[in-house]
Structure 1
Amino acid sequence: MLYSSTTPSAKRAAFRQALAGADLLRFPGAFNPLSGRLVQRHGFEGVYVSGAVLSADLGLPDVGLTTLTEVAGRSAQIARVTDLPVLVDADTGFGEPLNVARTVQVLEDAGVAGLHVEDQVNPKRCGHLEGKQVVDEATAVRRVRAAVDARRDPDFLVVARTDVRGVEGFDATVRRAKALVDAGADVVFAEAMADLSEFEAICSALDAPVLANMTEFGRSDLFTHEQLRDAGVRIVIHPVSLLRLAMGAADRALSGLGASGTLEPVVDEMQTRAELYDLVDYAGYGEFDSSVYDFSLEGNRG
Structure 2
Amino acid sequence: MLYSTLAPAEKRRLFCERLRGTDDVLRLPGAFNPLSARLIERKGFEGVYVSGAVVAADLGLPDIGLTTLTEVAQRAGQIARMTDLPTLVDADTGFGEPMNAARTVQTLEDAGVAGMHVEDQVNPKRCGHLDGKQVVDLDTAVKRVRAAVEGRRDPDFLVMARTDVRALEGLDVAVDRVRALVDAGADAVFPEALTGLAEFEAVASAVDVPVLANMTEFGKGRLHTVDELRDAGVRIVIWPVSLLRLAMGEASRGLDELAERGTQARLLDRMQHRADLYDLIDYEGYSAFDGDVFDFTVER
Q: 1:169-248 maps to which residues of 2 (within 5 A)? A: 169-248=170-249
Q: Paired residue for 1:18?
A: 18
Deviation of the 1:247 alpha carbon: 0.1
Q: Which AA in structure 1 matches 2:221?
A: S
Q: Which consecutive residues of structure 2, in runs of 5 or more, have no partner in the other structure?
A: none
Partner of 1:130: 131
3-state SS, counterpart of residue 120 of structure 1: coil
Give, in angstroms, the shift of residue 158 of structure 1: 0.2
The match for 1:3 is: 3
Distance in 2, Cα, partners of 1:202 & 1:169:
12
Provide the rounded CA distance (Å) in 2 between the counterparts of 1:24 and 1:134.
Answer: 28
Letter matched to residue 68 of structure 1:
L
Tell me the residue number matched to 1:30: 31
Match of 1:55 in 2: 56
**AA of the residue aligned to 2:240:** P
| Aligned-residue offset at 1:265 | 1.0
Deviation at 1:266, TM superposition (A): 1.3
Answering whether residue 82 of structure 2 is matched by residue 81 of structure 1, we say yes
| Structure 1 CA distance for aligned equivalents of residues 83 and 298 of structure 2 | 26
Q: In the TM superposition, what is the alpha-carbon distance from 1:297 to its structure 2 partner? A: 1.5
| Separation of aligned partners in 1, 2:187 and 2:297 | 49
Matched residue, 1:93:
94
What is the alpha-carbon distance in structure 2 between the residues aligned to residue 114 and residue 120 of structure 1?
Answer: 19
SS of 1:9 mapped into structure 2: helix
- Give how far 1:133 is off: 0.2
Q: How far apart are the structure 1 equivalents of 2:260 and 2:187?
A: 52
One-letter code of the match for 1:118? E
CA distance in 1, matches of 2:4, 2:297: 26
Give the root-mean-square deviation of aligned CA atoms: 0.6
SS at match of 1:158: strand
Instruction: Name 2:268's counterpart in structure 1.
Output: 267
Matched, 1:165 2:150: no
Letter in 2 for 1:264: A
Structure 2 counterpart of 1:112: 113
TM-score by length of structure 1 reads: 0.98
Residue 69 of structure 1 corresponds to: 70
- Could you report, residue by residue, the CA deviation over 1:239-276 in whole angstroms, capped at 9, with x for unpaired residues? 00000000000000001110111111111010000000
Task: Report the Cα distance in structure 2 between the residues aligned to 1:197 and 1:94, rounded to whole angstroms.
Answer: 32
Shift of 1:201: 1.0
Runs of 4+ in structure 1 off by over 4 angstroms are none
For 2:180 and 2:24, how far apart are their aligned partners in 1? 26
Whole-angstrom CA distance in 2 between matches of 1:29 and 1:297: 30
Query: CA–CA distance in 2 between the matches of 1:99 and 1:123?
Result: 14
Report sequence identity in percent: 70
Which stretch of structure 1 is more off in the superposition, 202-211 or 10-19?
202-211
1:190 Cα shift?
0.5
Distance 1:74 1:209 in 2: 26
Q: After superposition, what is the alpha-carbon deviation per residue over 1:8-35, rounded to whole angstroms, capped at 9, x for unaligned?
A: 0000000001101111000000000000
Write the letter of the residue equivalent to 1:200.
Answer: E
Q: 2 CA distance for matches of 1:155 and 1:244?
A: 32
2:172 maps to amino acid = D
Post-superposition CA distance 1:39-65 (Å, at most 9, x none): 000010000000000000000000000
Q: Deviations over 1:112-165 (max 9, x none)?
A: 000000000011111011111000000000000000000000000000000000
- Structure 1, residues 61-108: CA drift from partner, whole Å, max 9, x if none? 000000000000000000001000000000000000111110000000
Query: CA offset at residue 208 of structure 1?
Result: 1.4
Give the unaligned 5+ runs of structure 1.
Answer: none
3-state SS of the aligned residue for 2:133? coil
2:283 match: 282
Q: Please, what TM-score do these two structures have when normalized by structure 2? A: 0.99
Count of paired positions: 299
The amino acid across from 1:195 in the alignment is: G
Residue 209 of structure 1 and its aligned partner are, at CA, apart by 1.1
